[in-house]
Chain A
Amino acid sequence: MFQVVVLGDPNSGKTTFLGLLYATQVRSGSDTEDRFRFHVGLESLPEITFIFEQLMSRNFPEAATKKGITEVSFDLGLSRAHSSFFRREEEWKSSASSTIRFKLLRTQEEEEPRETGSWSIDEKARAFLENDAVVILVDSAKLAGSGGDPQVSPMSRYDTKVDRLLNPVQRVQESGKTGLLHPIFMFSKFDRVNPEVLRAAKLAPEPPRVDKTGRRAAYAEALLKLNLPQTLAAIKSREGGGVKLGKPAYFFSWVRTEELVPGQQGKIRLRRGDLTGWEPDYSNEEYLAFLEHLAEIAHRSEH
C-alpha cells in the first residue's frame, strides 16, 4: 500500500482537500470516457460520503466532520486499454491498481484545543516516516509577500514544524526505510491569495497550466521562498547527504464561493458541466493532475 500523509495547519483545508479529491474521483470514475476507476476503502466510506454530501450541498466540512476523519484509502486504476482490429479491450485488473492511503496528520491543537498547536515529534514523526509521500498543504490565504520578517510571517511556525518532520537525518535514523519520500505541495484556498503578494513576487494571478511543470515549479517556489523557506531548503537539499526525497510536485486548489457576507463563511458555488450533474466550482484539473501524479509514483514505487 502506498501511504500518503497530509500535513497542514488547523483550518488550512485538509478535510476539504480530501473531499475534493473524492469528488474528482467520483466525477472521473463515472464519466463517459471510463478511463479511470477507483474503489473507496469501506472503513473510510461513511466520513468521505458525508463530506461529499456537504460539499454538494454548498457547505464546507463542519468542525465535527473534520474531527471524524483521520484517514481514507482509495484503490486507483487507470485504464490499460489496448485495441485489437475488431474491438477495444479494457483491463481493470485489481493487481494493476494502486492502493493509496491518505492519512491526515493533525496537530495537537486540533485534537486538544488547550495544547500549543505542535505535532508531538516522537510518535507522529515516527508515523510520518513510514509514508511514501507527503502532501504539504500551504494555506494560500496566509501567504505573505516580500519585505516582511520571515521569522514573524504567518507561516513561520508551520515552516519550522514541517522542516522538523522532514529532517532527513531523523528520517534515516529512525526509519531505516530505503524508499523515497515524495514531497507534494498543495496550495489550498488559492482563490483567496492576496493579489498584492503575487504582484510583489512578480507572479501572474493564475499559476501556469498543469502540463507546464517547470514553470509551475518556479511559480510555486517563488511563493515558498518567502513563506516556507526552511521547508523549501530541506526539499531542495535532496540531492546531497544521502537524503531520500523525491522530486517535489506542486498543485493549486481553490473552490469558488458565493459572495461573502461579512462574518460568515461563503457558500460553495456549484457549476454544471455539459450533460453532467452539479459539482463544486473548483480546480478540477489540478486534482486530476494530482491523482495522475500520485498513481504514477505509486505504480513506480511498487515495481
Chain B
Amino acid sequence: MCPCAILGDRASGKTTFLGLLYAAQVRYGTGLRDDFRFHAPSGSLNLMSAVYEGMKDARFPSATLKEEITELSFVFGYLRKVVGKLPVAIREQSWVNPYSTLKFSAYDVSGEDIEEFIETGIASKPIIQQLLKAVVVVVMVDCSKMTIDVDTPTYKKMLKYDSTIAKLLVSFQTYKKQEYDRMVNQGMGAEAPIIYPAFVLAKFDTIRDEVLQKLGLHRGFPPVDEKRKRKDYAEALLRVFLPQTLSQIRGGKVAGVSMDKSAYFLSYVRTERPEGMEAVGAPKIVRIGFRPEGGGDPDFSYDEYVAFIEHFRGIAHKIPDEVREAEKFESVPVT
C-alpha cells in the first residue's frame, strides 16, 4: 500500500480538513459509480466521524479531539480500470486485487522529530521511517496566518513553518535519493524517484483582503478544471508565505527527485459572521440542507474535496509497483 503523509502544524486546520474529507468521501463514495472506496481503522474512523458530527452541530473540533490526531490514518481505494470491466463474479475472486490503494497518515509537524535524520542521516524511529517513505506529501497551509505585517507573531510563525516544511521536503528528497542510489548500486532496476506534493490552502475564507490586493489576486480561486490557473494562483501565495518550501519543491529535480507535479486545493467551511460587529467566542459553522430528522451539513468546499480525492486516482494507479520495489529495503537503515 502506497504511503502518503499529511503534514500540518497545530491549529493549521488539519483536523477540520480530515473531518470534511470524511464527509466528502461519504457523499462521493456512496455515489452510483462505485469506483472509489474509503477505509480507516476504527480509531481513526471514530475520530473523523466525531469531528464531522460536531461540525453538523455547527462546532469546530475541540482541543481534546485534536490531541488524538497523531494516530490517524485512512485508505483511499480506486477501482482499477481493467478490473472495472470484468464480470462481477471474476472481480470478486480473492486473487483479484481490484483497487489501487493509497494509505494516508496525518502527522503533526514540529520539526523536532526529523532532527535526528537531518543531523545523522539515520531514521531510527519507526514513525520517521514511515513518514520518509511517503510518496505523496500533502502540506496544510493555514491561510489565516498569511499576513504582510512583518512585526507580528503570526508573520514569524509562518516563517518558522516555511523552514520546517522546507526541511521536511529536503529530508524526503534525500531519503528517496539514497534509496534509489542503493538500489542502483545493488544492480536493481529502479525508476528515478518521484514525490507527488499537494497543498491544501486551509481556512481560505479567512485570508485577508489586503493580502490578496497586494498580490494582485482576487478572492475567487480558479475552478477545479483550470489547473494551470490554480497553480499560478496558489504559487503566488506560496511565493510570498512559503518561499523556501516552493523553492525546495522545484529544487528536488536538481537533486534527482522530481516533485514537479504539485496540486493545489482549497479547504474552507463557512462560519456565521454577525454583521457590523466582531464575533465573540468560537465561530459557528454555517449549515445547509437541513432535513426533517434534524441536523444539516456544514457549508464547505465540497467540490475541492472531490477534486482532492480524484487527483490521487491517477497517482494510485501509477505508483504501487515503485513502492513495492522500495519496500524490499524496508529493514535497511538509512545512512
Which A residues lie at the B interface, using CB under 8 A? 25-27, 29-32, 34, 37-40, 42-43, 45-46, 49-50, 52-53, 56-58, 75-77, 92-94, 97, 270, 272, 275-278
Contacts and interface: CB of A to CB of B under 8 A. Distances in A.
B247 interface: yes
B255 A53 contact: no
Given A30-B246, A57-B156, A49 B251 contact: no
Contacts, number: 104
B241 A94 contact: no
A29 B250 CA distance: 7
Contacts of B171: 42
A27 B247 CA distance: 8
Q: Which 9 A-B pairs have the closest CB atoms?
A: A277-B240, A29-B247, A94-B256, A49-B163, A92-B253, A77-B254, A39-B255, A39-B251, A30-B246
Contacts of A37: 247, 250-251, 253-254
A277 B163 CA distance: 15
Interface in B172-188: 173-174
Contacts of A276: 239-240
B254 A275 contact: no
Contacts of B173: 39
Nearest to B111: A46
A94 B257 CA distance: 9
Contacts of A76: 254
Chain A contact residues, majority secondary structure: mixed
B166 A49 contact: yes
B253 A30 contact: no
B253 A77 contact: yes
B6 interface: no
A87 B159 CA distance: 36
Contacts of A272: 148, 214
B244 interface: yes
Contacts of B156: 53, 57
Chain B contact residues, majority secondary structure: helix
Contacts of A275: 215-216, 236
Nearest to B175: A42
Contact of B254 (A39, A53, A278): A39
Contact of A39 (B115, B170, B235, B239): B170
Contacts of A39: 170, 173, 248, 251-252, 254-255
Given A46-B115, A46-B167, A76-B254, A38 B244 contact: no
B194 interface: no
Given A275-B216, A276-B239, A45 B167 contact: yes
Interface in B52-83: none
B236 A40 contact: no
B163 A52 contact: yes
B29 interface: no
A93 B253 CA distance: 7
B306 interface: no
A161 B209 CA distance: 56
A267 to B, nearest CB: 10
A98 to B, nearest CB: 9
Nearest to A25: B247
B323 interface: no
B63 to A, nearest CB: 27
A40 B167 CA distance: 9
B254 A92 contact: yes
Given A42-B118, A92-B253, 12 more contacts: A26-B244, A27-B243, A30-B247, A37-B250, A39-B170, A40-B251, A42-B170, A52-B163, A53-B163, A57-B159, A58-B150, A97-B254
B148 A278 contact: yes
B251 A277 contact: no
13 contacts: A26-B247, A30-B238, A31-B239, A40-B170, A42-B117, A42-B118, A43-B119, A46-B167, A52-B244, A53-B156, A75-B251, A77-B253, A278-B240
Given A40-B170, A45-B166, A30 B118 contact: no
B222 interface: no
A75 B170 CA distance: 12
A94 B118 contact: no
